[in-house]
Structure 1
């Protein structure tokens, strides 16, 4: 991971100071104080509302600004009461979650678990989603086919203890999923309230004091309760709420979520959706109606497109769609689905507006070499470019994300732990944590066109994402702003002219084709 030491401005000329290479720190590193200081600005001026020009390359990895936060990455991670869409350590350091998914991690050898966690921590991934019950990891008596849920296997629990310990030593936090949704995920106890409560009490009581526990997730795809079938009922939501309340009663510190599936799908006739207590799902798909006035404190989202979810046809199939006057093509390629994710930013922004952090924990898995078998069975594999576009849409609409890579997300292949390409997501992480005050910002989609997204503290800082490049307008508060262009595919940073606005729309021409990120920050 490349750390950018400083940006300096002198006599209206940009000077890029030295950069140094450093790996992700050891103990507490990946979950440490998010980003170092780095102040800077851009040379030149432009007239009010004018186009900001582009200059030479200023290096790679981030844009001008000051990132990070004072304080230490110690104690528990909590939702920040001052900025309730973000997370902070007890010690004061901010936490920007960037996660990976390994549902079956606990079923692997200690060596494979350590290799996986080391690999993720070395590339800025500071969170991993794992099942507390999973194939190869049965923490009860009996077997999944003939379970004894009244007996807890202490040896298995000690393995989970050790996984928490090792993850903490390399700076990785854990989202612990109480149940997966099949027999090997513990659904045999579903419908037996006493057994469910016993497992919740055992698991939460044991791990509630873990400082690298980031979040409890009631279950993956809660709508599959209690039969494991993909069928939504309002009672599924009520059950998830009751489990969340029980978790919160034991552990009032940590965040709680519930991962959806069928709720976010539409079904024939086109545009028909489920509803909950009189509130219907709609376009763009959202989850907030499910979790109002509940112990669910994080809006945990599964959303592949935002306005046109996939449907099952020998695997997940996606189609081109129109949204807000634009057409969004979808293509199945040799590297999985290539798409832009229409409406994802609208989904996140609407959920965000209901006062809770938003984390998209499943928006398609990244294709990697040798992953053809995975692709045939689910076809949720996406090209790295698709993953990049979606990740930037999510974050510039105020959300966070957890990824999944082909060889380790669903079916864990210990021989391919290192077969993954995280560089484009590292660029995103470094940008936000080293160069912005993201926690003070909010989605402001109304200040850009319908094909773009914007995270901003108007008048102070703007991060605009232009998935289609071109010349785009951003509505600014009056003032002078430093400016920089980030190429999210390569990590290259281009200096731009300073922008001086009297208020209103300012036009910005992207430096080249493809997607671009524009970073504006008010001058001192």
Structure 2
């Protein structure tokens, strides 16, 4: 009897030790489609019966090879676990061109592996695809799928995914889309417990304490032990129980107790749905991996950190509407070497080579000359944005590598930290004017709306730059939309800064002899040095969007405008007939 019990225990121990290596009973595969438009994605699901991995995010894998035989182009794609128990894995592939594709996928857990092959017919459609750098005008962006130029007009909504009601996420995206916003900075794992002086709090509707990972079970057990010890004593020092009780609290910014090797699938699925909703509106998500304000992070360069990044790539790279941002205030918690290594790591694993950047506090840490780095993402809050961005173009030219220049943090509406220039410097009107200064320097910008309408604080109808939500009293982006309409009315990407062609401290973008776009921040008149020709001219009110055509201009050398119609800031567009 005793021998039988020992044998049984030995068998049980062997089973537990070998369990991760045991294959599942069966694996079945189901593709989401056999016909698809280019830049949509195929999702192939592996249904795993009786999975055995001790950690399904580490102990099993799904990988695929996708090929377009007509061109010989091949993509190596990694899948991801999409269930807490390891019963569902998915792999996504975004075909970038019409044609007939073949693919083969392999699921591996223990031995042996399971494979599946298939075909995919892809038609052209009219999806815009990812944004890329314009190869002919490298200061600017294009949509890969259509070749249209992309006028980068962004906003910040770091904790958009903190909304528990996804209808709020969708209505937020819809509102911003109507206001001509086409890019949002949204964090995947960033957290904060401070609210920056804003009427914003965590509560039942929204929290900035995002949960991309599950709690570590062992730490959670220590937390329960600590709570029990606090309550019942047990004759051990109270301080020990207090320390245990602080561990593994997901809403504690300092002691969340995350198991960085296990992902909270429900959170990532919510992110999927937000990305899909945004993609259908051609709204780009800048995926900010993490933030300095999180306080705790996976160890720099660790296997857990790399697993997190690979999981994000596996889930999100097939969405055409993403770019990568390595982290907010990145230089405060990661080194320059980490930035370069991680940027190249992302480019190595992302099958589609989505654009990537980083967002350090000090712009000296912009990795301008590196091959992985696709555009700048400055933090610069001065009220001399035009001069700053002109200098950044020169700095970029000195590297011998031209990439777009963007300032993605030059202030937030009604937000006055001590490094701002004080009351009034962050008003909607000032920020709108700064946006014009940036774009008139050949750059692009990301702004942030006011949070003063409150989140979990009355009137509880806003959130702005913290979570994206807004109401009808928030009108700053209406002014930005007028700017978008002005620049997209002509071939702005063909112009260069030419302030030397105008007087009175005004700004000029020009393709001399063809296009002259002039911004008059103080109204008045402007003298423009023109090449000979006949030009059509239109006044644009930068505040209201109103347009006033002028009679044709017959220019020999220079031309002086009539006074702007009123004291607002104005733009003047001249195009050769």
TM range (shorter): 0.5 to 0.7
Give me the whole-angstrom Cα distance separating, in 1, the residues matched to 2:464 and 2:299: 24
Residue 199 in structure 1 maps to residue 298 in structure 2: no
Superposition deviation, residue 395 in structure 1:
1.1
Q: Distance in 1 between matches of 2:568 and 2:264?
A: 53
Q: Does residue 402 of structure 1 match 2:442?
A: no
- Report what 2:559 is aligned to: 506
1:262-281 matches, cutoff 5 A: 262-263=362-363
- C-alpha change, 1:222 and 1:294, in structure 2 (3 Å) is farther
State the shift of 1:131 in Å.
0.3
Partner of 2:211: 138
Deviations 1:94-126 (A, max 9, x none): 221211110011111212211210111111112
The Cα of 1:149 is off from its aligned counterpart by: 0.9
Task: Give the distance between the partners of 1:153 and 1:427, measured in 2 at CA.
Answer: 41
Counterpart secondary structure, 2:372: coil
Q: Give the corresponding residue for 1:220.
A: 328
Task: Specify every segment of 5 or more residues in structure 1 that has no aligned partner in the other structure, as ranges.
Answer: 1-70, 227-235, 264-274, 277-286, 306-338, 368-373
- Check conservation: 1:348, 1:398, Cα contact below 8 A: no
- C-alpha distance 450-471 of structure 1, shift in aligned 2 (>3 A): closer
Paired with 1:506 and 1:242, the residues of 2 have a C-alpha distance of 53
Match of 1:448 in 2: 502
Distance in 2 between residues matched to 1:96 and 1:491, nearest whole Å: 17
- 2:432 aligned to which of 380, 388, 391: 388
CA distance in structure 2 between the aligned counterparts of 1:514 and 1:253, rounded to whole angstroms:
43
- Which of 126-135 and 493-502 deviates more? 493-502
Structure with the greater relative contact order (CA < 8 A, sep ≥ 6): 1 or 2? 1
Task: State the alpha-carbon separation in 1 of the partners of residues 188 and 358 from structure 2.
Answer: 14
- 2:485 is matched with 430
Secondary structure of the equivalent of 2:181? Answer: coil
Q: Distance in 2 between matches of 1:436 and 1:413?
A: 30
Using the alignment, how far apart are the partners of 1:405 and 1:517 within structure 2?
A: 24
Q: Work out which of the two has the higher radius of gyration on C-alpha atoms and give 1 or 2.
A: 2
Q: Is the 8 Å Cα contact of residues 496 and 510 (structure 2) preserved in structure 1?
A: yes
**In structure 2, distance between residues paired with 1:98 and 1:477:** 31
Q: Distance in 2 between matches of 1:492 and 1:257?
A: 36
Match of 1:241 in 2: 340
Aligned mate of 2:379, from 288, 302, 310: 302
**1:405-444 residue CA offsets vs partner (Å, 9 max, x unmatched):** 1123444385x544421211111111112x1111222222
**How much has 1:92 moved relative to structure 2?**
2.5
Distance 1:413 1:165, change over 3 A: closer
In the alignment of these two chains, the number of paired residues is 377
Unaligned runs of 5+ in 2: 1-124, 191-207, 216-249, 452-462
Q: What pairs up with 1:108-187 in 2 under 5 angstroms?
A: 108-109=163-164, 110-134=166-190, 135-142=208-215, 143=250, 144=253, 145=255, 146-183=257-294, 187=296
1:352 and 1:516, CA in 2 relative to 1: closer, same or farther beyond 3 A? Answer: farther
Deviation at residue 190 of structure 1 after TM alignment = 4.2
- C-alpha distance in 2 between matches for 1:432 and 1:451: 20
Q: Partner residue of 1:253?
A: 353
Partner residue, 2:83: none
In 2, are the aligned partners of 1:366 and 1:384 still within 8 Å (CA)? yes
**Two-structure CA RMSD over aligned residues (Å):** 2.6
Q: How has the CA–CA distance of structure 1 residues 261 and 406 changed in structure 2, closer, same or farther, with 3 Å as cutoff? A: same
SS for the counterpart of 1:477 is coil
**Paired residues of 1:257 and 1:299 also in contact (CA < 8 A):** yes
